[in-house]
Chains A and B, each alone.
Chain A
Amino acid sequence: MTTAQIIFTAFTLAAFGFFAYTAMKIWGLFKLTKPLERMDKIGQRISTTILVAFGQQKMFKRPVAGLLHALVWWGFLVITVGTVEMIIDGIAGSERILGFLGPVYGVITASGELFAGIIILACIIFLVRRYMVKPKRFIAPEMKPSSKMDATLILFMILVLMASLLGLNMGYVLSQGAVGSYPLSHMLIDSAGLSGGDWHTFEAVNWWIHICLVLVFLNILPYSKHFHVIMAVPNVFFARLEPKAKLDNMASVTKEVKLMMDPETAFAPPAEGEAPPERFGIKTTDDITWKHLLDAYTCTECGRCTAVCPANNTGKKLSPRKLFIDLRAAATKGERVEGGKPLSAPDRITEEELWACTTCMACMEECPVNIDHVPLIIDMRRSFVMEDSKAPNELTMMFNNIENNGAPWQFSASDRMKWAEDLEVRMINRS
């Protein structure tokens, strides 16, 4: 083993080791969440994942940004093949070990190069947009400076990653490398008027910059909103497949309602060994399911949801994006273990925000990674109403009306057919 191999192997091990440490920490948080069945209809889940995650279907609702983003993502997938090769080469001391693939290798390297060029352009456009065009959805109270930093840092890292990829390819071509196909490198070499010779050092420097940055990038992801690069795939796979307007049935409530409606059992003491009644709805992060947490880790903070939210559009405090930013912050702190500060608090998701939602599902429709906002909002309302008996006065009145008259307004149930009285119709025969 050469010194370079030893250094590289050690660095790679350290990088993957740290990634594993982060992953275990996050896995630990998932282990504390509530179960939820999401393994039905596998076929439909796979096709949704292909369309929405890999195909970026929902990103195209905004065609320009959508296309650019999709190209970056597809490029990332192609270039990852080369990254795997680089790691093998680095450890084994080989050079372009996938070269035996022949023409296939040519396709991989050539498309990787083209994507690198496209990604550089896309990142420049994204930076210009972020700092000069300043789209409205990037400016909001929940968008902390750290979030902006996060975006800028990642965009610059990607730029350097792509530049070094092209650099190492150019070095390889200039040193008469034999395998693969490098159209963009050739173009750059020609236009810069560079000529062959010993470009090995240039290639090596770029190689090291590229691969080290990849490993750093990998370790930044889980701590940033760019975790979506990894999490979006499972999140889309496990997304709800039912019509958006359907809310889940709370089985725990069904049990109690059936007991209440059955006089035989209504006053019977609970059966021996029966589990204590669950808490209804979501009060703290103790009550969330693994899918809520997955949603929170997947949110890209893109604000597509907030941009279409009718409550937000009309100046209400509600911002659907903020719900998942707050949830992630609360869950990551691991404070659940320390006794669970409510998820709804003045410095977090406020009651005012939660009651402002019209459940219009525009946020869910727009979200490119199929996050479910409305079920979370309803789950938190459930905690207010069923645990704390807390709801805006008018809603409490509405509940009373339904209980007493079977209608949300104060009308007598016996008047339900009044509309049908004296129903006369004239058929105007216009022919």
Chain B
Amino acid sequence: MSETKTIKVPTMAEMAANGEQPEILFWVGCAGAFDDRYKKVTRAFTMILDHVGIKYAVLGTEESCTGDPAKRAGNEFLFQMQAIQNIEVLNAYQVKKIVTACPHCFNTLKNEYPDLGGHYEVIHHATFLQQLLDEGKIRIKEDNAYHKMPMTYHDSCYLGRGNGIFEAPRAVVGALHAEAREMKRCRTKGMCCGAGGAQMFKEEEAGTTRVNFERIEQALETGADVVATACPFCMTMLTDGLKEKEQEDKVEVADLAELIASATGLQP
């Protein structure tokens, strides 16, 4: 038995026009809005927001890059211009709470916007999903599609070392009743996918191999069928790594939101 529903994603502008205030703003991020692969994650996460019945909204075309890659590449001017513009928009809508599926947006909004006048409660979707699971708003049956499936979680640097969030994503993987396997380098010792600090947007410097090739090998060593990620850049890098190792037919890189949506029975 299945029922189909079309989700109309509400924007802040529409909400404001109706005199409404959402409980939470979903910050989509540039990768979430434009990257073909990550758009699927955005959609999966939206399905979850819709499913649990929380009052949410997005900024839509009023959202702009947080400025994270500019800041990390040394362009503080551009970063601050982006930040100040975004803060103006967020403050105009009196946003209090933000959830995002991007650790880079998360870090910038949470840690770097306050210095420029943007004070919000910011949570990453891994933590948010964990909360929904804890509160029983999402229930996952034991015999879901990932039951006993070998799965490994790749720590995003900006979530893990950068902000100390190591357990929430693991709790989400745990809720799938999958067989969680750790890579040799995990948690505080986790190895970068290679995309942080604006590397996503340029070629790597000359070396013996690429960071993502090295990292995907460590993931494959665990024998996992699914490499779970919680970051758009990690997803791109590890997916490229899988292709390089010609394993893309056997192993899947999937975001926590996609895994939860599908285990809950939410299908696109």
- Residues of A in contact with B (beta carbons under 8 Å apart): 61, 242-247, 249-250, 253-254, 256-258, 260-261, 280-281, 308, 310-311, 313-318, 352, 355-362, 364-365, 374, 378, 380-386, 391-392, 394-395, 397-399, 402-403, 406-409, 411, 413-420, 422-431
Residues facing A in B64-90 (CB within 8 A) are: 64-65, 67, 69-78, 80-82, 84
Asked whether any CB of chain A lies closer than 8 Å to the CB of B147, the reply is: no
Given contacts A61-B189, A253-B80, 9 further A-B contacts (CB under 8 A): A280-B76, A364-B161, A381-B73, A381-B74, A398-B198, A419-B32, A420-B46, A423-B43, A424-B7
Indicate which residue in A362, A385, A424 contacts B5 across the interface (CB closer than 8 Å). A424
**Minimum CB distance partner of B43 in chain A:** A423
Known: A250-B76, A308-B189, A359-B157. A402 touches B69 (CB 8 A): yes
Cross-chain pair count, CB within 8 angstroms: 266
Residues facing A in B165-207 (CB within 8 A) are: 188-192, 194-207
**Minimum CB distance partner of A309 in chain B:** B192
Assess whether B43 is in contact with A419, with CB atoms less than 8 Å apart: yes
Asked whether any CB of chain A lies closer than 8 Å to the CB of B24, the reply is: no
Indicate which residue in A313, A316, A359 contacts B204 across the interface (CB closer than 8 Å). A316
Indicate which residue in A316, A359, A382, A394 contacts B197 across the interface (CB closer than 8 Å). A359
Assess whether B192 is in contact with A360, with CB atoms less than 8 Å apart: yes
Indicate which residue in B8, B77, B267 contacts A386 across the interface (CB closer than 8 Å). B77
Known: A243-B107, A308-B189, A420-B9. A426 touches B161 (CB 8 A): no
Known: A254-B80, A399-B75. A362 touches B107 (CB 8 A): no
B223 CB contacts on chain A under 8 angstroms: none
Asked whether any CB of chain A lies closer than 8 Å to the CB of B259, the reply is: no
Assess whether B204 is in contact with A407, with CB atoms less than 8 Å apart: no
By DSSP majority rule, is chain B's interface helix, strand, loop, or mixed?
Answer: mixed
- Residues of B in contact with A (beta carbons under 8 Å apart): 1-9, 11, 28, 30, 32-35, 39, 42-43, 46-47, 50-51, 58, 60-61, 63-65, 67, 69-78, 80-82, 84, 107, 111-112, 115-116, 141, 157-158, 161-164, 188-192, 194-211, 213-215, 265-268
- Minimum CB–CB distance from A264 to chain B (whole Å) comes to 16
**Of listed A242, A315, A384, A420, residue having the most chain B CB within 10 A:** A420
Assess whether B34 is in contact with A415, with CB atoms less than 8 Å apart: yes
- Minimum CB–CB distance from B51 to chain A (whole Å) comes to 8
B11 CB contacts on chain A under 8 angstroms: 417
Indicate which residue in B63, B202, B268 contacts A394 across the interface (CB closer than 8 Å). B202
B161 CB contacts on chain A under 8 angstroms: 244-245, 360-362, 364-365
- Minimum CB–CB distance from A277 to chain B (whole Å) comes to 12
A424 CB contacts on chain B under 8 angstroms: 4-7, 268
Indicate which residue in B5, B72, B192, B202 contacts A378 across the interface (CB closer than 8 Å). B72
Indicate which residue in B58, B64, B111, B199 contacts A243 across the interface (CB closer than 8 Å). B111
Assess whether B33 is in contact with A245, with CB atoms less than 8 Å apart: no
- Minimum CB–CB distance from A64 to chain B (whole Å) comes to 17
Assess whether B7 is in contact with A316, with CB atoms less than 8 Å apart: no
Known: A365-B188, A398-B69, A399-B78. A423 touches B7 (CB 8 A): yes
Assess whether A378 is in contact with B74, with CB atoms less than 8 Å apart: yes
Indicate which residue in A361, A362, A406, A427 contacts B64 across the interface (CB closer than 8 Å). A406
**Minimum CB distance partner of B77 in chain A:** A253
Assess whether B75 is in contact with A385, with CB atoms less than 8 Å apart: yes
Known: A314-B208, A359-B196, A417-B60. A423 touches B46 (CB 8 A): yes
Known: A249-B112, A250-B76, A399-B75. A425 touches B7 (CB 8 A): yes
Listed A/B pairs (26) with beta-carbon separation below 8 Å = A243-B164, A249-B115, A250-B80, A256-B77, A258-B84, A310-B194, A310-B215, A313-B211, A318-B205, A352-B205, A355-B205, A358-B195, A358-B199, A360-B196, A361-B157, A362-B192, A365-B161, A378-B74, A381-B73, A395-B201, A399-B70, A407-B34, A416-B61, A416-B63, A417-B61, A427-B3
- Minimum CB–CB distance from A256 to chain B (whole Å) comes to 7
Assess whether B162 is in contact with A313, with CB atoms less than 8 Å apart: no
Assess whether A425 is in contact with B268, with CB atoms less than 8 Å apart: yes
Known: A358-B157, A415-B34. A310 touches B214 (CB 8 A): yes
Rounded to whole angstroms, the CA-CA distance of A423 and B50 in the bound complex is 11
B157 CB contacts on chain A under 8 angstroms: 245, 358-362
Indicate which residue in A242, A356, A427 contacts B205 across the interface (CB closer than 8 Å). A356
**Minimum CB distance partner of B265 in chain A:** A428
**Minimum CB distance partner of A402 in chain B:** B65
Rounded to whole angstroms, the CA-CA distance of A161 and B209 in the bound complex is 47
Rounded to whole angstroms, the CA-CA distance of A218 and B122 in the bound complex is 50
